[in-house]
């Protein structure tokens, strides 16, 4: 028997079903049932993954703020797009 739920995401609020397998899985892992539809959960996961790989850094040349995949703690010289292209050009 599947459970009918409504997505708690404000921009979605669509009804979705939790299938038997998912219920079993949650019970087994002692997790609460998801409150968001699979689509929103997927989007959230993607967003998290992106955030984890982006760091706020400053361009080593023009000091402008930028996002980089290189951690702030890494001892690399990073350039913003503009400086990067100027540098290799």
Please name the residue that has the structure tokens 């990067």.
84
9 in contact with Zn ion (CB under 5 A): yes
Return the range that interacts with Zn ion (CB under 5 A); candidates 11-19, 27-35, 44-52, 68-76. Answer: 11-19
38 φ, ψ (degrees, to nearest 5) = -55, -35
Site for Zn ion in 35-74 (CB under 5 A): 37, 40, 59, 61-62
Residue 7 contacts Zn ion per CB under 5 A: yes
CA distance 6 to 36: 7
Residue 83 lies near Zn ion (rule: CB under 5 A):
yes
Residue with Cβ nearer Zn ion (44 or 49): 44
Q: To the nearest whole angstrom, how small is the minimum distance from the Cβ of residue 27 to Zn ion? A: 22
- Minimum distance, C-beta of residue 13 to Zn ion, in the bound complex (Å): 7
Binding residues for Zn ion, total number by CB under 5 A: 10
- Nearby residues of 79 by Cβ (< 8 Å), 6 or more positions away: 59, 60, 61, 87
Bridge-based pairing state of the strands 3-6 and 65-68: unpaired
Rg of the chain taking only CA atoms, in angstroms: 21
């Amino acid at each position: 028997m599947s459970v009918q739920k409504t997505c708690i995401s404000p921009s979605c609020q669509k009804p979705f079903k939790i299938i038997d397998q998912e219920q079993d899985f949650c019970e087994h892992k002692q997790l609460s049932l998801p409150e968001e539809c699979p689509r929103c959960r997927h989007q959230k996961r993607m967003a998290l993954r992106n955030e984890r790989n982006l760091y706020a850094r400053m361009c080593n040349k023009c000091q402008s703020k930028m996002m980089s995949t290189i951690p702030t703690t890494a001892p690399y010289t990073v350039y913003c797009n503009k400086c990067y292209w100027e540098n290799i050009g």
